[in-house]
Amino acid sequence: MEHSLPSSLRYDFHLHSDFSDGMNTIEEMIFACLDQEITHMAITDHLSETGYFNWYNQYEKDAKKLPRYLNTINKMKLKYQGKIKIYAGAEISTDFGLRTKHYSGEEDIFSLYLDRFSIFLIEGWYISNPYRSAINLRKYLDELGYSDIPISIAHPEFTHFSHKKFSKLIKMGIGIELNESKFSGIIAQDFLRIYKQLTDIEKSQLNITIGSDAHYADGAGKLQSVHKFIDETNLKKNVILPKEIQ
Ligand SMILES: [Zn+2]
């Protein structure tokens, strides 16, 4: 079968399962990715403070949910070893404002499991202030010794990015995601507008993650528009992988 994906970029680092608002199990998402000849994938279920997937406020009632999620991913990782590389991630939704206490509180269940995460996405809607959330999370992870976990802003609204903001993110090693489900000509244009203002050094330091944002097995591993854009703009060298955990 002819394949349109560039062989070196068969990645999908934004996938939801029924642990949050996805419609399929983690294993069904893996099957779907294998079907699309994906070689590296990350499960990135929502980790919200006040949203519909509210681990933080529920953890007293269901403190086992986060370890159950991570254990399931780990089991799958071992089961499909050699066929597909699977990473544990989360998409952090800060909803309508950032409450940093949950990133540093004493009873912070999140901090107990950081050694098992390979990537964090920050919900990219402008209204949730992804810029601030990403910086705060970066500082928090760095303080706890997890500078090696990449952070990427999921489906950023580039219209709200200034060159200054973009530079700061790059300086802090915070990446941006090219997201298939939200990709459009307008997004591409907005991204290029801001990308063109970067210095050559900034351009070379820019980290990009790619993901489908699939909530159904049907969309998993399908990244045609993003791949086409990356090919056309020569951004392949900027695409990064999640942290390796043995
Ligand atoms: Zn998502």
Task: Convert the pLDDT of each residue in 219-246 to its tens digit.
Answer: 999 999 999 999 999 999 999 999 999 8
- What's the 129 CA to ligand 1 centre distance in angstroms? 16
CB 149 within 8 A of CB 141: yes
- What's the 195 CA to ligand 1 centre distance in angstroms? 23
- What's the 16 CA to ligand 1 centre distance in angstroms? 7
Per-residue pLDDT tens digits for 2-46: 445 555 789 999 999 988 889 999 999 999 999 999 999 999 998
- What's the 212 CA to ligand 1 centre distance in angstroms? 8
Q: When comparing pLDDT for 125 and 211, which is higher?
A: 211
- What's the 17 CA to ligand 1 centre distance in angstroms? 10
- Residue 197 CA to residue 192 CA, distance in Å, equals 9
* pLDDT at position 62: 56
Kind and range of the H or E run holding 92: strand 85-93
pTM score of the predicted model? 0.90
Domains of the chain and CATH, by start: 8-238 (3.20.20.140)
- What's the 46 CA to ligand 1 centre distance in angstroms? 7
- What's the 200 CA to ligand 1 centre distance in angstroms? 30
- What's the 89 CA to ligand 1 centre distance in angstroms? 11
- What's the 144 CA to ligand 1 centre distance in angstroms? 25
Structure tokens at 58: 């529920």
Per-residue pLDDT tens digits for 190-227: 999 999 999 999 999 999 999 999 999 999 999 999 99
Displacement of CA 124 from its chain's centroid (Å): 10
- What's the 183 CA to ligand 1 centre distance in angstroms? 13
Quick one: DSSP state of residue 200? H
- What's the 83 CA to ligand 1 centre distance in angstroms? 24
- Residue 58 CA to residue 240 CA, distance in Å, equals 33
Per-residue pLDDT tens digits for 127-182: 667 888 888 889 888 988 999 999 999 999 888 888 999 999 999 999 999 999 98
* pLDDT at position 7: 59
